[in-house]
Structure 1
C-alpha cells in the first residue's frame, strides 16, 4: 500500500465517520458501495463524453481495443 504524506479531505472524512470496529462483512459492503458510486460516476462521465464527441458505442469500443498502452497513448496525444 502506498502511503500518502497528507490525507485528502475525503480520507479524513472517512476516518472520522468510520472510527469504530466493523466486521469484515461490513467493510466489504462499504467497499462495494463505494465502488458502485464511482462506477456510476464513470459511466455518467463516459456517456457525457460520448454525446459531446458524437461517438457511437462501436466507435468507442474500437478506440479502446488496443494491445500496446504506450503506443495507444501516443496516438491519443497526437490526435489532440
Structure 2
C-alpha cells in the first residue's frame, strides 16, 4: 500500500487561497512571484553564510567556477 505524504501548512493555505479557476497568464504570474520570493530568501541566506565565513563574493565565485567535477572534488577533500 502506498501512503501519500500529508500536505504542509503552506500547501493547504495555497489550495484554499487559489481554489478558483485562473488563466494560464495568472498561473504563470503567480509562479513568477513565488519564485522571486524564494530567490530573495536564498540570496539573503547566501549573504549571511558569506559573512559568517568571512569570504568575499569573488572568492565564492572562484570556488564555484570549475570544469572538471572530479578534480574539483579532489581539491575540496584535500583542503579539509
Whether these two folds match at TM > 0.5 is yes
Normalising by structure 2, we get a TM-score of: 0.77
Q: Which runs of 5+ in 2 are unaligned?
A: none
Aligned length: 77
Aligned CA distance change for structure 1 residues 70 and 35 (closer, same or farther; 3 Å): farther
How large is the RMSD of aligned CA atoms in angstroms? 2.4
Q: Which runs of 5+ in 1 are unaligned?
A: none
Normalising by structure 1, we get a TM-score of: 0.77
CA offsets per residue over residues 18-70 of structure 1, 9 Å max, x none?
00000001100100000000000011111111111111111101121234557
Aligned CA distance change for structure 1 residues 10 and 54 (closer, same or farther; 3 Å): same
Q: In structure 1, what is the equivalent of residue 58 of structure 2?
A: 58
Q: Provide the rounded CA distance (Å) in 2 between the counterparts of 1:70 and 1:11.
A: 38
Structure number with bigger Rg: 2
Q: Provide the rounded CA distance (Å) in 2 between the counterparts of 1:77 and 1:53.
A: 18
